[in-house]
Amino acid sequence: MYALQISARVPRLASSSLRRSRAVSSLSPLIDIINRNAASLEKAEQTNSTQLPILSQPFHPSSEAFRKDPEAAESAAQIVAAALQLAATLSPPMEAIYQIAAGPFKGAALRICMEANIAEILREAGPQGMHVQEIGQKTGQDPRKLARFLRYLATNHIFEEVGPDVFRNNRLSGVLDTGKESAALAYNPDSKYEGTTGITAFVNHHLDEVAKASVHAWENLSDPARAVSEEQRESSLANYLGKDVSIWEWFEDPEQASRRKRFDIAMKGAAAMESAEAIRAGYDWGSLPKGSTVVDVGGGIGFATAAVCDKFPELNYVVQDLAGAIQNAGNFWAERNPDAITNKTVALESHSCFEPQPSRPVSVFFIKHVLHGTSDKYGKKVLDHLRFAASKDTKLVVAEYIVPYACRLPSAAEEGEVPGSRSTEAPAPLLANYGSSLVYSADMAMFFASNAQERTFRDMQRLLLSAGWKVVKVNRQKGGHMTLQFYEAIPV
């Protein structure tokens, strides 16, 4: 019925030949991109002796080794972009829109399977898989319902149905496996994320509180008082909770202890996976005179500082964060590099970035993954304090993701364009941003949970300038849109 209604409203093309020519012109370049890059990947597989991923096999980190070759990584990105664009082109529009509308259903099914430890159960079952009747016995869930959730996910290539009502892990569902015994997790659910990479904790954080907040986004925005609010206590999450609290205040509630624990593990895992080499390459640390002071603002336990300190021990470092983080930082440094604390190369300082900075000479203020957790109003407040404490020679280094535009920018550089400000664009006719939605999903998550945002280059440039900082360059790191990029700014 929908297809008939839609086709009735679409104007007829002038001729069948015109229809054919337009179809060929839109499809052939995309197919060519897939064929050309598939050949390139297969060649790289032989040259580098790295096996390409196999969807039916459980995930193993070694299956990502092929991406260490930049050309292979680029080929994979172009194939994915072209495949997504082909799907958008050839899918019936109503069906494509409904798939978006049904997105929360996928998230709900995924969370059910994660909470029921199904990836762990299927890993224990082995490659032959397990019937839903047995899965139901192990989880205490209705096998008929489990079959529906698993089949829905398998249709989206998460898990694999190898026989009627028999499922096993594959490459995507394998990412959800913590490696722990399912019986132990059933006995002690709170232990699920301990000692893991944090990936599963990160996913379930989004499937739980962030997903629930997202459902209330329109209710929040349709309130005139909240539509333009930049307050964390007036976020979509606050609307869902029915009280004006920030996510951090909510996490402090003893009833939310397990959620807070999960979030902390997710964030530590994300920080641990960041490349130390990328942080060292994000600024010319070697240009600083011996004894220069680097202040890591909102630095958590000091992962970034440790990365720089390892290579540049002649500098002095201050790791700033709230008291709880600094207490944990003491344990981290006692194990990681105790000498840096005892010889006062590194100082741990309890401090809120929303308060004025202590008075001292600072060569570099380094601030990573802090501004994305703020609206412009509060981001400016942080930056104002740094600007007030800066001398004319102080540099500001901001490490954040850069959200690319979905359109193409003019090919010619604009007058006064900041070096490194442009994102790499995919070749036409692909979307300039490769159709990769991950960084935009991160932006939505920040908005729903905290009224905060990831930023385009121009967003960040405006924010910094509003607080008296001028961006002079962006030290671009290779990788996708979820790769940290480093803004370098000076006082104005």
- Which residues carry out catalysis? 372
- Report the C-alpha gap between 404 and 418 in whole angstroms: 15
Q: 195 with 265: CB under 8 angstroms?
A: no
Can you give the length of the chain in residues? 492
**DSSP letters along 427-468, please?**
PTTS-TTTT--HHHHHHHHHHHHHS---B-HHHHHHHHHHTT
Which pair of structure tokens corresponds to residue 138?
Answer: 């192990």
Q: 3-class SS at 348? A: strand
Which pair of structure tokens corresponds to residue 266?
Answer: 């997710």
Sign of CA pseudo-dihedral 282, 288, 290, 294: negative
Q: How far is CA 90 from CA 24, 27, 86, 347, in A?
A: 12, 9, 6, 58
Q: Phi, psi (5° rounding) for residue 259?
A: -70, -40
Sign of CA pseudo-dihedral 88, 94, 96, 97: positive
Residue in 139, 144, 142, 148 with CA at minimum distance from that of residue 117: 139
Sign of CA pseudo-dihedral 204, 205, 206, 210: positive
Q: How far is CA 149 from the centre of its chain?
A: 25
